[in-house]
């Protein structure tokens, strides 16, 4: 990749996409992304008050040039919803916060500590899911509580429940994506913001007296200010819950609507990691994140002023036909190429290994092993939604023997 040119001699202004509505993005952004990307790699979008970057090349360049494209955005929704976490910092400040996470989320810790816990939690919530009976919602009854309980233990919130984790996560990421500036969304986000701070303040003294392998326990020995701990823990509650939950839901939905690929995976469970990677490419759980230009620059032929607010649209970049063949399709057999779902450069997602282990290594094999007749509920549609964050909001399934050949696929992705 080459760095973005600063020459303006051949650059053009970004076209304006004043036809893009927030409601349409929430419902199904992919046709919008396709239309934008075919016209230009960057558009000014009034409804979100920022330039939206939709090509793979441009998104990749941005992530690897923090001197030109800063994560420390002015007026950041994420700062308001979660505090000033490392996701909204550039190096060196980012590096200091990142190092405070230690080795808790690394592959060695996952192998030695967390995989056993993932297995136990999966068993607990799969048993509850099966007890709810055919027609239960896979997201509400399994994916969400499973991801929340894993995260609660990893983070060390001994004074909270998985239900608390779910509430905190959803209300704060709703704030992060509150481009409509809905006051009710802000009120719910602020309530969770304060609850998380209170929970951290309460549990840190306990963890100093009773150290364990959790993230918060490790931070008690780190030279990091309390405000940085609070902000980074809120950020982790958001991404650390919604990413595995939403990848799991999308992956199950994708397999149930692609029976030939499902048959291949069932005959060879070693393919589940490919299912995971294709699911995060196809529907990135974090679909967009912000950056801000530190100087006037040119990005793939588009002139950008200093201080331009950008939306790096990973959900669009991961479907760029210049990189991925037939990108709108879910295909675990496609040629392996690097997706951008977990970011890149110094902001590569710290929770990537946890998501891969808990979803591809434990949850997906467990769901299809325990429920071999799993299929979509023919009487109730699956629902997908979101664009800043995207995943399945409803995934009713059944595992009783089918009485007819009809199925409900609702293929809107």
Q: What is the pLDDT of residues 250-296, one digit of tens each?
A: 999 999 999 999 999 999 999 999 999 999 999 999 999 999 999 99
Q: Does any domain span residue 76?
A: yes
The residue with greater pLDDT, 227 or 407, is 227
Contact between 187 and 178 (Cβ < 8 Å):
no
Task: Compute the distance between CA of residue 36 and CA of residue 257 in angstroms, rounded to an integer.
Answer: 28
**pLDDT at 403 exceeding the cut of 70:** no
DSSP label of 268 = -
What's the pTM?
A: 0.92
Q: Does any domain span residue 369?
A: yes
Contact between 158 and 206 (Cβ < 8 Å):
yes
Task: Compute the distance between CA of residue 157 and CA of residue 212 in angstroms, rounded to an integer.
Answer: 11
- What value does the mean pLDDT take over residues 67-90? 94
Q: What is the pLDDT of residues 39-63, one digit of tens each?
A: 999 999 999 999 999 999 999 999 9
pLDDT of residue 283: 98
pLDDT of residue 401: 56
Is residue 391 within a helix (H) or strand (E), and if so which, with residue range? Answer: strand 391-394
For the chain, the domain total comes to 1
Q: What is the pLDDT of residues 118-167, one digit of tens each?
A: 999 999 999 999 999 999 999 999 999 999 999 999 999 999 999 999 99
Residues in the chain: 413
Q: Does any domain span residue 27?
A: yes
Q: Does any domain span residue 404?
A: no
What is the maximum span of the chain, computed from C-alpha positions, in angstroms?
66
Q: Does any domain span residue 411?
A: no
Alpha helices in 28-137 (DSSP H): 30-39, 56-63, 77-82, 93-99, 107-109, 115-132
Confidence of residue 349 (pLDDT cuts 50, 70, 90): confident
Residue 171 structure tokens:
């209300």
How far is C-alpha 206 from the geometric centre of its chain's CA atoms? 31
- Whole-Å CA distances, 329 to 39, 320, 337: 21, 12, 15
pLDDT of residue 9: 57
Q: Does any domain span residue 96?
A: yes
**pLDDT at 383 exceeding the cut of 70:** yes
**pLDDT at 227 exceeding the cut of 60:** yes
Closest CA to 321 of 29, 6, 30: 30
CA torsion, ordered 51, 53, 59, 64, to nearest 10 deg: -10
* Structural domain that includes position 107: 12-398
Q: Does any domain span residue 195?
A: yes
Question: In sequence order, what are the residues at sequence separation of 6 or more whose Cβ sits closer than 8 angstroms to the Cβ of residue 69?
Answer: 62, 63, 291, 292, 293, 294, 310
- What value does the mean pLDDT take over residues 5-21? 82
Contact between 382 and 24 (Cβ < 8 Å):
no
Task: Compute the distance between CA of residue 75 and CA of residue 43 in angstroms, rounded to an integer.
Answer: 20
> The CATH number of the domain where 58 resides is what?
1.10.630.10
Q: Does any domain span residue 264?
A: yes
**pLDDT at 406 exceeding the cut of 60:** no
């Amino acid at each position: 990749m080459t760095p973005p040119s600063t020459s303006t001699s051949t650059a053009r202004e970004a076209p304006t996409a004043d036809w893009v509505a927030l409601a349409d993005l929430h419902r199904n952004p992919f046709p919008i992304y396709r239309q934008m990307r075919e016209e230009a790699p960057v558009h000014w979008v009034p409804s979100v008050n920022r330039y939206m970057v939709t090509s793979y090349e441009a998104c990749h360049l941005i992530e690897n040039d923090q001197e030109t494209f800063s994560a420390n955005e002015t007026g950041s929704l994420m700062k308001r919803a979660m505090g000033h976490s490392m996701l909204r910092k550039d190096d060196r400040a980012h590096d200091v916060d990142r190092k405070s996470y230690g080795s808790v989320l690394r592959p060695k810790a996952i192998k030695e500590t967390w995989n056993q816990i993932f297995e136990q939690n999966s068993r607990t919530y799969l048993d509850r899911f099966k007890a709810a009976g055919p027609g239960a919602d896979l997201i509400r009854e399994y994916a969400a509580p499973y991801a929340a309980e894993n995260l609660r233990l990893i983070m060390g919130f001994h004074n909270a429940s998985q239900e608390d984790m779910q509430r905190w996560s959803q209300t704060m990421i709703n704030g992060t994506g509150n481009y409509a500036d809905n006051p009710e969304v802000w009120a719910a986000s602020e309530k969770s913001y304060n609850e998380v701070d209170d929970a951290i303040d309460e549990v840190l003294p306990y963890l100093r007296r009773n150290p364990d392998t959790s993230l918060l326990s490790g931070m008690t020995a780190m030279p990091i200010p309390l405000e940085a701990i609070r902000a980074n823990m809120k950020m982790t509650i958001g991404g650390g819950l919604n990413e595995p939950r939403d990848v799991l839901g999308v992956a199950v939905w994708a397999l149930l609507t692609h029976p030939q690929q499902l048959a291949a995976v069932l005959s060879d469970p070693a393919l589940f990691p490919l299912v995971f990677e294709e699911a995060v490419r196809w529907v990135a759980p974090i679909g967009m994140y912000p950056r801000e230009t530190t100087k006037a620059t040119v990005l793939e032929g588009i002139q950008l002023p200093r201080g331009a607010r950008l939306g790096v649209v990973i959900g669009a970049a991961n479907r760029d036909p210049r990189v991925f063949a037939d990108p709108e399709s879910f295909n675990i057999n496609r040629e392996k190429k690097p997706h951008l779902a977990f970011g890149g450069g110094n902001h590569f997602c710290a929770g990537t290994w946890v998501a891969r282990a808990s979803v591809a290594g434990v949850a997906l094999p467990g769901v299809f092993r325990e429920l071999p007749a799993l299929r979509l509920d023919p009487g109730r549609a699956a629902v997908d939604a979101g664009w800043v964050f995207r995943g399945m909001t409803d995934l009713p399934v059944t595992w009783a023997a089918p009485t007819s050949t009809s199925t409900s696929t609702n293929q809107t992705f």
